[in-house]
Structure 1
Amino acid sequence: MPQKNAPPAAVKARSERITSRSRNADWKKPPRRIERSECITCDSCLRSCPPEFGAIFDRGLDVIIVPELCSGCPACVLVCPVDCIYVDEDWSPTGGDLWALADLTAEGTP
């Protein structure tokens, strides 16, 4: 579960972003995106994403970043062995299928 070891307030804030399906308006940096054609699905980025964001998910054949959960911090970029993570200035709202993954990791989910 992405929130492991995150402060309770951070877990609650992440759950609220999942519920509202919106990005924190105070975040100044744009979210990140993973270029699927370059990604080797090593999950280094997923493991390094701070638990209070928990923005990265492994969907089996690809790894994705939910932009509404991504603060734009460089934690994932710093560990990516193939440099396939970029700033996503023109990000689009996340579709329902990806929110289903995020819902599974929200606070209060069994």
Structure 2
Amino acid sequence: MPWEKNEAAGGETSGRDARIAARAREENWKKPPRRIESAECITCDSCLRGCPAEFGAIFDRGLDVVIIPELCSGCPACVLECPVDCIYVDEDWTPTDESLWKHIELTADGA
């Protein structure tokens, strides 16, 4: 399935890197991104580990775990991993703020 992890990719994230540089979602993605309801999240990081590397859309931000909508294809991989069902479709997503983009750029090499 297209949302499964691709081990054969050898860690290449050129599409992801381009999305980070452009700070934009792929135009051909039909599904809206996902969001994490922080009031329900237990910060177990299961979603972060379950997010396919080619998207790498989930980050720890202090005590919160967040999904970057510009990097999220809307696939169900994180939803399937979440033990408390706190991940929802985000039809009304807003662009990611500058401070979080700086965090992403600082952690991009380790992603």
**TM-score, normalised relative to structure 2:** 0.86
CA contact (8 A) 1:36 1:63 kept: yes
- In the aligned structure 2, how far is the partner of 1:52 from the partner of 1:102? 15
The alpha carbon displacement at 1:59 in A equals 1.3
- In the aligned structure 2, how far is the partner of 1:93 from the partner of 1:18? 12
Cα deviation, 1:32-90, whole Å, max 9, x if unaligned, reads 00000000000000000000000000112110000000000000000100000000000
User: Which structure 1 segments of 5+ residues have no match?
Assistant: none
Paired residues, what number? 105
**TM-score, normalised relative to structure 1:** 0.87
Q: 1:41: which partner in 2? A: 43
Q: 1:89: which partner in 2? A: 91
- In the aligned structure 2, how far is the partner of 1:43 from the partner of 1:23? 23
For residue 24 of structure 2, give the secondary structure of its aligned residue in structure 1: coil
CA RMSD of aligned residues (A): 2.0
Give the AA of the match of 1:68.
E
CA contact (8 A) 2:11 2:53 kept: no
* Percent of pairs with identical residues: 68
CA contact (8 A) 1:55 1:67 kept: yes
Q: Is 2:64 the counterpart of 1:53?
A: no
User: Which structure 2 segments of 5+ residues have no match?
Assistant: 1-5
Give the AA of the match of 1:27.
W
Q: 2:100: which partner in 1? A: 98
